[in-house]
Amino acid sequence: MNWIILIVAGFFESGFAFCLGKMKEASGTDWYLWGAGFLLSLTLSMVLLAKAVQTLPIGTAYPVWTGIGAVGTVVLGIVFFHEPVSFLRLFFISTLIASIIGLKLVSH
């Protein structure tokens, strides 16, 4: 169950990065709404991470959490912010995904 909580926490990490990206483009009320989304995502991400590390080793949970957030943020950047897609970028994201899976497989 704590692995699922950790994965959801990683998604919320991508969520707060996405909200930051949207804040960059927004003004007025929209800026405050995206800011509220940022704070909510940040809070949920941290609370869920704290819950997950109650039973998972921090040396595994933290890199998995940041890795999920990094991969999710890159994908969101490509899809919503039209960031460049290149072979090397996709290659290194793939190696990051493989590392996340590897950490999960070797953790006790």
- Matching residue, tokens 């950790």: 6
In this structure, the dihedral spanned by the alpha carbons of residues 76, 78, 81 and 82, taken in order and rounded to 10 degrees, is -160
Q: Could you tell me what percent of the chain has a pLDDT over 90?
A: 94
* 47 in Cβ contact with 99 (< 8 Å): no
Average pLDDT, rounded, for the chain: 95
**Cα–Cα distance, 67 to 53 (Å, whole number):** 16
What is d(CA 66, CA 46) in angstroms, rounded to the nearest whole number?
11
User: Are residues 45 and 66 in contact, defined by beta-carbon separation less than 8 angstroms?
Assistant: no
Mind listing the pLDDT tens digit for each residue in 28-75?
999 999 999 999 999 999 999 999 999 999 999 999 999 999 999 999
